[in-house]
């Protein structure tokens, strides 16, 4: 087998392209800024601007950006009516995938493929997606949808849209940090999906719809929805060690641990864990943090497995009172900034992404004279 036919299952270790948006080398960074420092000092609005525009905003740029995004935080009546018509048990990720497709029909630049047009569409989706998530959730629960408040930042606005009242500063900050950490992560499965679609010269909305489909899978974005299932199954801190050892003996996969590219632990998990603990303290749910600590200790000692971002995120969202089916849609409202940045980058220096496969079927053979 020559070098051109070398095969890496899952494309592990394969360089699939170049990007100036983020890197995991020497710790995760966005556009050259270390992500832990961005999470400490910035807001999601700042980081979304950074990803889309290339650098952190000045005061005036931040205000203008927020004004542009807020101006888009309304949905066409047809989409609201669709939310009412859909079966109430439809998974929110499925509805969100459909919602982005519908929003394309009402975007005046939907078919424009230039990076400048895609940037404007990205800002619109950044504003529309949280509104769509909250509106659909409330309608599916027989509640009226709320109108976005122009005075609130991204995380605060989403919690208001979901509940109809402003959340505490601590809750807003915790959610905001999680959005920063989920906003971008190099050539992950959903981002690569978006770039593949973009490389065909398709439009931004199609790229985002495809990325949502990829993120829905439990090996990608859906992992955060399984965290509380594991903690509840473990029972509590006194029974957690026995539970996790039994799970390992059964060779069960524990969601929220391990990562294709982080072998010594996910820096994002380390950043979010204190927020998850503080939220649990405020909610009187420390038993789940203590249970999580036992599971982490056993997996590190027995399997050298460490938490990824989904592990503290699932616990944080539970402590904030968010329902499990909302966890991955929240991931979408953060990652749309990174996806869009990658689409715009791909458009700027495009080449159709078309890899080869290695054939493992039968050798060349003749068709019978009288085929069966």
Could you count the other beta carbons within 10 Å of the beta carbon of residue 71? 12
Strand partners, 29: 23, 34
d(CA 97, CA 46): 26
Give the count of beta carbons closer than 10 Å to the beta carbon of residue 172.
22
**Is 185 among the catalytic positions?**
no
352: left (phi over 0), alpha (psi -120 to 50) or beta: beta
Residues whose CB is less than 8 angstroms from the CB of residue 160 and which lie 6 or more positions away in sequence, other chains included: 146, 148, 149, 152, 166, 167
**Is 141 part of the annotated catalytic residue set?**
no
DSSP label at residue 33: E
Q: Give the single-character DSSP code of 259.
A: -
Indicate the helix (H) or strand (E) that contains 88. Answer: none
Q: Do 183 and 335 contact (CB within 8 A), yes or no?
A: yes
Q: Find the catalytic residue in 185, 205, 259, 306.
A: 259
- Distance CA(201)–CA(29), nearest Å, equals 28
Catalytic residue among 45, 176, 266, 310: 310
Catalytic residues: 259, 310
């Amino acid at each position: 087998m020559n070098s051109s036919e070398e095969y890496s299952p899952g494309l592990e270790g394969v360089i699939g392209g170049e990007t100036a948006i983020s890197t995991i080398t020497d710790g995760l960074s966005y556009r050259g800024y270390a992500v832990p420092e961005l999470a400490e000092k910035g807001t999601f609005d700042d980081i979304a601007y950074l990803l889309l525009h290339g650098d952190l905003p000045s005061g005036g740029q931040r205000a203008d950006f927020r004004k542009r995004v807020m101006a888009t935080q309304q949905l066409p009546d047809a989409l609201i009516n669709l939310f009412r018509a859909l079966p109430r048990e439809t998974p929110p990720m499925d509805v969100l995938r459909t919602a982005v497709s519908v929003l394309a029909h009402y975007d005046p630049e939907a078919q424009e493929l230039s990076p400048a047009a895609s940037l404007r569409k990205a800002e619109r989706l950044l504003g529309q997606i949280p509104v769509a998530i909250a509106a659909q959730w409330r309608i599916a629960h027989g509640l009226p949808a709320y109108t976005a408040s122009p005075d609130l930042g991204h995380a605060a606005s989403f919690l208001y849209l979901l509940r109809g009242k402003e959340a505490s500063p601590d809750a807003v900050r915790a959610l905001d940090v999680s959005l920063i950490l989920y906003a971008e992560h190099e050539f992950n499965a959903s981002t690569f999906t978006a770039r593949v679609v973009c490389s065909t010269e398709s439009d931004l909305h199609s790229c985002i719809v495809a990325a949502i489909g990829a993120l829905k899978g439990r090996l990608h974005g859906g992992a955060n929805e399984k965290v509380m299932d594991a903690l509840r199954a473990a029972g509590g801190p006194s029974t957690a060690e026995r539970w996790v050892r039994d799970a390992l003996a059964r060779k069960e996969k524990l969601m929220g641990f391990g990562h294709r590219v982080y072998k010594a632990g996910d820096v994002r998990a380390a950043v979010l864990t204190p927020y998850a603990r503080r939220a649990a303290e405020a909610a009187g749910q420390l038993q789940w943090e203590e249970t999580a600590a036992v599971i982490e200790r056993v997996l590190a000692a027995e399997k050298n497995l460490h938490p990824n971002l989904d592990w503290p995120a699932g616990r944080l969202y539970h402590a904030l009172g968010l329902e499990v089916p909302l966890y991955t849609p929240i991931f979408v409202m953060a990652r749309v900034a990174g996806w869009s940045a990658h689409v715009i980058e791909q458009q700027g220096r495009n080449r159709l992404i078309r890899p080869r496969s290695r054939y493992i079927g039968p050798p060349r053979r003749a068709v019978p004279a009288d085929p069966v």
